Amino acid sequence: MNSVILSTATRVLLPILLLFSVFILIRGHQEPGGGFVGGLIASMAFALYTIAHGVAHARQIFPLSPTVFIITGLSFALFSGLMGLFVGLPAFTGLWGAYEFPVLGPLSTPLLFDIGVYLVVFGASTSIIFTLKLKE
């Protein structure tokens, strides 16, 4: 698609949407939001960019293969589940750190899991978008 308005707007929207997705991810800890929605918003940012500039361009500003995101995300999620085992509790037990960070709150395995979900959803959606767009 060749639209000047869209391509100009996308340049501004891409970083804002990515930032917003991270905000949603962290907010999901106590309020509506979370990794799934965050990952979808982040992939929407790239979908917009892909529609405006084409797959080749999108791949340029997106240096890693989507598969890498899926693998990293799954590893995060898996690791967060196994953390419980290392401290002698059943697997998948939620653990919270003692120190409260200003924005993040305490570090915890649910947060790690959520980041994992974010990465998996992001990776999977972008790979679907790239594949479908290439088919056109």
Residues found near another protein in the complex (CB under 8 A): 36, 67, 70-71, 74-75, 78, 81-82, 84-85, 88-94, 128
Min separation Cβ 90 and another protein, Å: 5
Q: Which is nearer to another protein, 23 or 36 (CB)?
A: 36
Smallest distance, another protein to C-beta of residue 66, A: 12
Q: Residue 81 CB, nearest distance to another protein (Å)?
A: 8
User: With contact defined as beta carbons under 8 Å apart, do 28 and 34 qualify?
Assistant: yes
Q: Are residues 115 and 39 in contact, defined by beta-carbon separation less than 8 angstroms?
A: no
Radius of gyration of the chain (CA): 17
Residue 75 CB, nearest approach to another protein (Å)? 6
Nearer to another protein, 34 or 48 (CB): 34
The b/e string for 10-47 (b: 16+ C-beta within 10 A; e otherwise) is beebbeebbebbeebbbebeeeebbbbbbbbbbbbbbb
Q: Are 33 and 111 in contact (CB under 8 A)?
A: no
| Residue 7 or 65 having the CB closest to another protein | 65
